[in-house]
Amino acid sequence: MKVCLRASRIVWILFLLAPIVALSGPPAEVAARAVADNVAYNVGTSVRFRVIFSGPPPAGPISISARIRYSGETRPVAAERVVAQGVRTASGTRSTDLNVLWRVPRGARTGCYEADLIAR
């Protein structure tokens, strides 16, 4: 997932979310992707996302962790943390409700950010 910041203090988010890693467990692996609620954010606002399952969603709840880093760098700008616990799909759908991924900090540098999401 990419998060792009512009000098105008607006955060442009280009969420190119790879399939969520580690949605595996008995009895089968589950394929999913994440999408953002918007493409542009102001500093201080929350970046929110939802998980969309390609097939049947997992039977039980999942927890999702995230690591945010400046695009092209390997060091995260914030420690990996759980961003959603006990997540289930919204009634009658193959997607979850929106969850807060990241609150864009005041001192965020201009450019693109990426987020690695891990579901367990």
* Domain boundary assignment for the chain: 2-119
* Amino acid 75: pLDDT: 92
* Amino acid 5: pLDDT: 47
Alpha-carbon span 81 to 119, nearest angstrom: 12
Of 116, 118, 82, give the one whose Cα is nearest residue 100: 82
* Amino acid 28: pLDDT: 52
Residues of the chain with pLDDT under 50: 1, 5-19, 21-25, 27
Q: Distance of CA 42 to CAs 5, 13, 39, Å?
A: 9, 10, 11
* Amino acid 39: pLDDT: 77
What is the Cα gyration radius of the chain?
14
Alpha-carbon span 36 to 71, nearest angstrom: 17
Q: Which two tokens stand for residue 54?
A: 């390609």
* pTM for the full predicted model: 0.72
Mark 104-117 as b/e (b = at least 16 C-beta within 10 Å).
beeebeebbbbbbb
* Amino acid 41: pLDDT: 76
* Amino acid 14: pLDDT: 42
